[in-house]
Chain A
Amino acid sequence: MKLRSIMMSSAAFAVAATGAFAQDDMPESPVAGEPMADEMTIVSWGGAYQDSQLKAYVEPYLEANPDVSVTWDESSAEAVAGMRAQAEANNISWDLVDVTAADAMRLCDEGLAMEVDIDEIAAPAPDGTPASEDFGEDMLVSDCFIPQIAYSYTFGYRNDVEEWGGETPSEICDVFDLETFPGQRSLERRPHNNMEWALICDGVAQEDVYDVLETEEGQQRAFDKLDTIKDQTVWWTSGADTPQLLADGEVVFGSTYNGRLFSLIAEQDQPVEMMWDTQSYDLDGWIIPEGLEEEDLNRVKDFLWFATDTQRLADQAKYISYGPARDSSAPLVGQHAELGIEMAPHMPTNPDNASNAFVQNYLWWADYRDDLDAKFQAWLAQ
């Protein structure tokens, strides 16, 4: 079910706003002056995340460019299938697509996403550091990927469970401990992270996880570990599921994106706590579909130059607790736009939270995704 919302900036408002809209001392976008399309279709994830994009850079961009209209398509979860279908039909209707790092690699490998030179797409930092250094190699995981944020998969738990007798979970393996922490859990309905967490709790060291997971025995070990909680688990597919399940008391423990848990705890004030132990990092960013018309491409480049600059990425962190992908944005992260609380302690990259973080190996997943998906789905169905 595709939800589309069309956002038009009203011309009258824009005229008033243009004056107030201060252009920072930012170099002009490399495509300034070229002919550009007036419409742009942006694909994103919907929900709080899309709102943060809207407020941090889409609305400001539209204020500065009142002739432009933006159509949102909330299809990022099916972006790879959608782009493949569009490429086969030779009818590219998306201009800019927000995807996870692993999907960006897949799209790049298949030739569906455009390879970009990050220094031509993203503005340098205010101090002149080129974008490629400002993002850093850890973020630039694929030639097609234009990073926006670092987020993490982590667990939230209810702090009012009577059966736990005052104990609170503090480490990842408590998820697998049904004796101390009885109750339903929610895990994502795909192998990513679940397999890694299972192996870590089966005694595999973090750095060896992928070597073990490469073997049949290792995969079986992970499934065996997951089997111990299988009938106490609800499997989620949408990022909104776990917060809802936690709020309803359906589950006592659940994994999801850290930003969703932040809004559940800080914005909705539910009796839920974060557990940062062994949070699993992932990246999210833009890709440009291969085969855009030149005018559409110019519009996308003009938008990206603005939307991925240091200030805009820092602004995004006012609305959602995801870490900006640029080093230069970090010091600019301030307070939540409405609640007025400091955002830094809620970022997955904050030192207190990151003391025992797990870094997902995208390259490995790009290779083994098909293999493990098939086995995982078969395991689930049995």
Chain B
Amino acid sequence: MSEDDRPIPRKVSQADDLAPEGVYPPTEEMLSEPVPADLQKAQADRLRKAWVAPTGIRYVTAVNNSEVGVWYSMTAFAFMLIAGVMALIIRLQLAFPENDLISADRFNQLFTMHGSAMMFLFAVPIFEAIAILILPGFLSARDLPFPRLSAYGYWCFLIGGISVIGSVFVDAGPTAGWFMYPPLATQDEGIGSDIWLLGLSFIEVASIAAAVELIVGTLKCRPPGMRVNIMPLYAWYVLVVGGMILFAFPPLIAGDFLFELERSFDWPFFDPTRGGDPLLWQHLFWIFGHPEVYIVFLPSIAIAAMVVPTVAQRPIVGYSWIVLSAVGTGFLSFGLWVHHMFTTGLPSISLGFFSAASEAVVIPTGIQLFAFLATLMVGRVRVNLPMLWIAGGLAIFTAGGLTGVMLAMAPFDFQAHDSYFVVAHLHYTLFGGMVFPVIAGVYYFFPFARKKLLSERLGRIAFWLIFVGFNVTFLPMHWVGLLGMPRRIYTFPGGLGWDTVNLMSTIASFLIAAGFAVFAWDVIRPKTRQPQIPRNPWGGGTLEWTHDVPEELWGTRSIPYVTSRYPLWDDPKLLERLDSGRYYLPDAETVRRETMVTSVIDAKPLLIQKVTGPSWLPLLAAVFTGGAFIFPTFHVYPPAIASGAVALAIIILWLWRETSWPPEHEMRDAGLGLRLPNYAAGPNSVGWWAMWITMLGDATAFASVVFAFFYYWTSSADFPPVAMPDPDRALVGLAVVGLLLAWAATVSAAWLNARARVTAARAALIVAPVAAAGGAAALVLSVIGLSPSTHVYPAVMCALAIWVVVHAGVGIVMQLYCLAASVAGKMTPRHDADIQNVTLYWHFHLIAVLVTCAVMGLAPGVMR
């Protein structure tokens, strides 16, 4: 390569010389200039062609948020209905003392799956589903930045969900409760617990994928001018909840990883007879489990935050207070998990601290509720059907919140814990804080997604059935709980004062079911003869109501320049300009799907982002990823490994074909006199942000495994055990050297490539995987002599080694990918997004390597 001979290497990556050109922000004069009618029509035709949805069997290859969002929502609701039917069977069994409608084993499967499905297959996915469906509308983005990732996440959710919930129908469901406490769950025979662990890990991975998508979408795909302080509250909540998912799910994934190692290979992480500790699981589970409650609750509050201003016809009061409270709730929620463990014999000082921390959550929650009340106070209230559901939700949620205040008092919790009082409390918070607002959201956003209204009459019938049924079912449970009825019992003796209450709950539970049946019918009933809605049927002020009626799949005809929180209320000319294509990206010159990427804080236009279109690859990748998770359930590993390899190959193919190719034109006209680049690398690109955010979650999972090591150290006097062999220190040292070298070679490759020293960069990309493989091999050899099934100490060492080796493997694949990209001309000195992302991965991996090797090589000596 001749470039190599150049005397002074100079960075030539495109960020330096390709920046947006032209006028920004647009002047009023530019905005008021009309667009010629024939141009409008030509642009609209091209856009329509670019965004056309596949038809027939190829419909399943759709990746557009408007399709995937609807599938996702409907699937989550279907799982909710199935889990609801399970609850009805549970109630029937508990209608009478010593009833024998179903066996204890069947009952345990049902209550385990009811909780697991409601949480993992409904409450969290429905947030992601609704957000995927409506967030781009709020932001006037044409789509989210990674539509195929959404589709992949959806198919993973569908496959994983069916395999988990289906287990109950073949009488092989998990029976140890949705919390899966060991040793009960580790000793459990049969495949139930494996289905839970692997199936839900699979879905958790999909959840994290969706979180990454939504966070990047919120940060980078806002319309020009929508600074963070004027973005819709919904977007703020998506950001907060996405961040929480990123830090809450990884501890559970780490826990699942250890748990499945124990179940499959008998590594005793939670077995007290071999140095393990069942309480570690409880910590990991509730570090996930408590934020989970707010992960479920905040998105529903977000819906209320969009409905309330529309109902009041006034901007929300206390915007900043709400944002601060949402962020505050997010942070606080990570400091409360111990209140699920008040009865595990912790010292009083912990009880006091976590009591106080739990009570503190009242304040941000209270601020959010009062901000809604304040908004209603200053407005002219028009109660509509969505508002009725919000009102019902408020009545129920405040009751649940107040019993939460009671439960957070440790002395009272000693009585109420694991009794029906808690069953009542959690259903009050989840129905009031989640189910009712979500249904309000369905009524409110149904016309957005389907351009038809749901029935006012059916909506009111469903509301009163569910509202009355709910209260009659669950209010008495507080009472029966304090009469001493524990949770999770498949039957109970008569004569303890529990009989009448349980019968009443059972009868009323069928009112709830009837209400949901009415609601479900309203959603699915044919509406062909019903007229389409007028645009913006509720009179909302935010951008989602600019979408066209009848529906156009392009999302927004042109991407507006936004200067206020409620553009539809504040800018009377917005709609007309938007429709005529006066704003940004009014055209699809290349007839490809595109949206605009803006800067994180100020939403200044940065580039035109190509958006991927329909493809079989996400579906196929999900099928094979499913295989990699589902085969191990039955302890058959070769097909699992093969399946995983195929999934990886498909994902590589998908990335290779569609991402980060040098564009045909470096700069293109974006409308309103602005020219934008068509390619970005590093922090300007969405891919770099996605990598950053993913690795943050990955690092959290890794930190949880390291936490396990230190937890054993603090909870056991004899850890690390004196007589146990340690990992071979020399080999651990060698692993550090190898992996450090791999990191250095990767960083050098990026540096050299950006300075047009392509040959040297390729050489570095050959050295890097070799060094990484050598380092990983050394790490494997360092623990090869340990017997992880004898004690938790060698087990945790081996688990750490596995973690690093697997990540090194992924890192090697990435390095080779960059090498291939360089050779194929996909990656050039100017267009180096791939290597920049890979470098970021290796930065994170280096930290994991150093921590792991310190723990394996140094800690045993220091700690003994």
Answer yes or no: do A and B interact: no
